Amino acid sequence: MSAPLSAYGDALRFDRLVNVYFYTSNADKLLQARLIFARRGYELRHFRIGSEPYDEDYSLGTETLLTKAITQVNADFNVRSLFFVEDTSLRIDALSEEFDFPGLAVKDWFGTTSFDELDRQIRIRGGDRRALVRSDIALFLPTLSRPIFFHGETEPVPEI
């Protein structure tokens, strides 16, 4: 995984206002990220394009998927400032076995699955409604040779 931010020395110190871009096609994620940045006095910019900003090959795993996304965005758009990409994954315990389900394909899966269908599937498999949501971010800094990774996740609450 990544080194602590202190290991990057002055790479995160700037003498001027820095433009930070979020490459996403998800308006809700963009608004949430803008709120977080605004609370700290920063403006977050959205790079607008007509399609997904990068290819999502879920079979690669999170870190490889995000590293390839950073490389693709940088190559396609010749970025000269900070930017980040984010990916969310989900493990629904009742529907998961060896691998997380729906995993990294959560966006596609939720696009085709209704709450009623999800509820039915959970009930069939014993009713365990615990889930784990993971969010991973890769941050590109022009001064570094590889992205910085951030990871966050929820803790499933035990059944009462």
Q: What tens digit of pLDDT does each residue of 35-77 get? A: 998 888 888 888 765 556 566 777 788 899 999 989 888 877 6
Among 57-61, 107-111, 132-136, whose mean pLDDT is lowest? 57-61
pLDDT > 70: what percent of the chain?
Answer: 80
For residue 144, the model assigns a pLDDT of: 86
Which numeric CATH code is attached to 17-153? Answer: 3.90.950.10
**Which two three-digit tokens encode residue 95?**
């529907």
Looking at this protein, which amino acid is placed at residue 154?
A: T
Which has the closest alpha carbon to 90: 100, 98, 80?
A: 100
Average pLDDT over every residue of 87-115: 92
In this predicted model, which residue has the larger pLDDT, 70 or 14? 70
For residue 14, the model assigns a pLDDT of: 53
Among 37-46, 55-64, 80-89, 107-116, whose mean pLDDT is lowest? 55-64
Domain locations in the chain? 17-153
pLDDT > 90: what percent of the chain?
Answer: 39
The string of DSSP letters for 57-125 reads -GGG-HHHHHHHHHHHHHHHH---SEEEEEEEEEEEGGG-SSS-SEETTHHHHHHH--HHHHHHHHHHT
**Which two three-digit tokens encode residue 123?**
């009930």
- Residue 101 pLDDT greater than 90, yes or no: yes
Q: What tens digit of pLDDT does each residue of 138-153 get? A: 999 888 889 999 999 9
- The predicted model scores a pTM of 0.76
For residue 50, the model assigns a pLDDT of: 53
- Residue 16 pLDDT greater than 90, yes or no: no
Residues 6+ apart with CB under 8 A from 37: 20, 43, 44
For residue 128, the model assigns a pLDDT of: 92
